[in-house]
A and B are shown apart, each in its own frame.
Chain A
């Protein structure tokens, strides 16, 4: 057992995938850094992406497989699709998910659809690694989560790990997967750590995880929201309220059975999602529960989300924007009394 940060766990999964399969390549903006200054010592592999997640890959595997791109997401996302169709397993880095707009056509209309609309003869085994999340004082265009944007599209898979264990196991699976996968990494979780076995096996997509067993209230937590759910559950335990925390981990496919089982057990549900509320994972999961588990419910599902606003910059406003431990505690208390 080794303690790993999410950042290192992702790097490990990338290195392992590069070693296992020569068809795995990586493309993105400054995923190495230092292009054009090769003649100077110490310039190469200077960044490893803005969060240093891919650092060392260029040095270890070379520029043929680890390709710094121009700031041209539509160009290299499209290239990943063509490369994937013809035998490679490209991983592309979308520096921030907020940049989805400049290459959304490639994911929505090409990556997601070529298998279906061209008669099932092709597959597109590519992974988009991208950085999501508020709480970094990064402003409106570098802080969104946008989970539901991709989850909405048939043909795409969406993965959002919370801890280092899941980050490594799910990334290994995503790279081996034959469908296009959006792999979302939360910037506020990169430096969090947990135990990760060195020989961790790939974790199948579509399998959620019970992070904490409990009997009174089910908290379904999306990615970083697991942190607040845990904090809330710890507090509530002190007053003898038992919370069950469900982390779906992947949003397409979604482990509906795991959610339904927990709902049957507690009959009281809170969904916590850092995204904006309209047409969100929170509203999707809430509607699924109402549809499939109506008779098990003792109260209406409570959704805790960001407000219907862009992510604000200033700390008091941004902290208000993000769902909090306190909001979860209040909601659980409200449900407990039902």
Chain B
């Protein structure tokens, strides 16, 4: 049984992310913002379902496709949009951009542009929790494209060897950039790759937010109870291209049409009455989400640009000579 408050939270977040990413697609098309943009349309249920099982001070890492994780982890919408617009009041003071949306005060260790950089960093946070006998949950999000990278394997091997109860969350969205997952996998299932580490793994429907939540919650408990890492593979579909502007010619139309039947937003709507939300409740949540997203984008547009020399700040904690000599 999920409490009512959590159900409302889940619905609010899942719609917020979808509206947010649709708005990103729009501004990308209009070319009104600088920089690379990667949207997560199709991953909303994974972002929200996993985060529903976490506390705000639990640790996560994300990737360049991070908007959904950041929103679900509790980062301020105004600060996210301002960052994407490159403004001084952005979540990273305009120094990060869309690929690096991350707020340490909300438990985000970082959103990394390098594929598979996150798992080892989360391993370190989890090691710290273990050494300090603390109990924060540590989760690394990455895509199916990351599972061939050595840094992922090195982190997985050490996590198992050291009995670190971290959670690896693989969003298997069918594509690593422009390459289909079924082509790049050497194993039948993606999660089979963890067999080399004798690591517990579970496969879940990444389109159903409640299933994601349920599996994540159980996995977190099991990992802590058994003092072991757990690998979660959530299957979904990447409706977004690798980046905004991607022609997506490699994604066949019939595949997209089929995937749309399991669109996480569609499923969430269909399931709403089962979770005690009537039509009015749902509409209210949807309208609120839409309104908040619109407000955040309007806000970003009014925000000041950083001064050019702001580029010189916070490279180090302490540096006794001038950075820009």
Contact = CB atoms under 8 A, between A and B. Distances in A.
A155 B323 CA distance: 10
Contacts of B119: 78
Contact of B123 (A75, A110, A122): A75
Contacts of A80: 124
A116 B314 contact: yes
Interface string A176-208: 011100000000000000000000000011110
A123 interface: yes
A38 to B, nearest CB: 15
Interface string B94-118: 0110001011110011111110010
A105 B151 contact: yes
B158 A76 contact: yes
A110 B117 CA distance: 8
B59 interface: yes
Contacts of A211: none
Nearest to B150: A74
Contact of A121 (B104, B114, B151, B161): B104
Contacts of A83: 124-125, 127-128
B274 interface: no
A157 interface: yes
A105 B131 contact: no
Interface residues of A, number: 53
Given A70-B154, A116-B315, A154-B315, A109 B320 contact: no
B9 interface: no
Contacts of A75: 120, 123, 151, 153-155, 157-158
Contacts of A78: 117, 119-121, 123-124, 151, 154-155
Interface stretch (A61-69, A224-232, A305-313, A326-334): A61-69
A106 B110 CA distance: 13
B314 A86 contact: no
A77 B120 CA distance: 8
Interface string B53-80: 0000001010000000000000000000
A120 interface: yes
A117 B95 contact: yes
Interface in A90-135: 90, 102, 105-106, 109-110, 114-123
A73 to B, nearest CB: 8
A119 B95 contact: yes
A87 interface: yes
Contact of B314 (A67, A82, A120, A253): A120
B155 to A, nearest CB: 5
A102 B318 CA distance: 28
Task: Categorize the interface residue count of chain B.
Answer: 35 or more
B112 A79 contact: no
Interface in B245-301: none
A110 B122 CA distance: 12
A179 B313 contact: no
A179 B320 CA distance: 12
Given A114-B110, A120-B93, A79 B124 contact: yes
B103 A178 contact: no
Nearest to B316: A179
Contacts of A177: 317-318
Contacts of A116: 95, 314-315
Contacts of A146: none
Nearest to A288: B325
Given A118-B100, A120-B93, A88 B131 contact: yes
A79 B127 contact: yes
A178 B124 contact: no
B104 A82 contact: no
A207 B318 CA distance: 14
Contacts of A123: 317
Nearest to A120: B314
Interface string A155-191: 1010000000000000000000111000000000000
A64 B125 CA distance: 15
**Residue of B100, B110, B157, B313 with most partner-chain A CB within 10 A:** B110
11 contacts: A64-B131, A76-B158, A78-B117, A78-B124, A81-B120, A85-B125, A86-B129, A88-B127, A88-B128, A118-B111, A253-B320
Given A78-B117, A81-B124, A119-B95, 7 more contacts: A25-B131, A74-B151, A75-B158, A78-B154, A79-B127, A123-B317, A206-B320
Interface of A: 25, 64-65, 67, 69-70, 72-88, 90, 102, 105-106, 109-110, 114-123, 154-155, 157, 177-179, 204-207, 253-256
Q: 8 closest A-B pairs (Cβ-Cβ)?
A: A78-B120, A82-B124, A75-B154, A79-B124, A120-B314, A119-B92, A72-B154, A178-B317
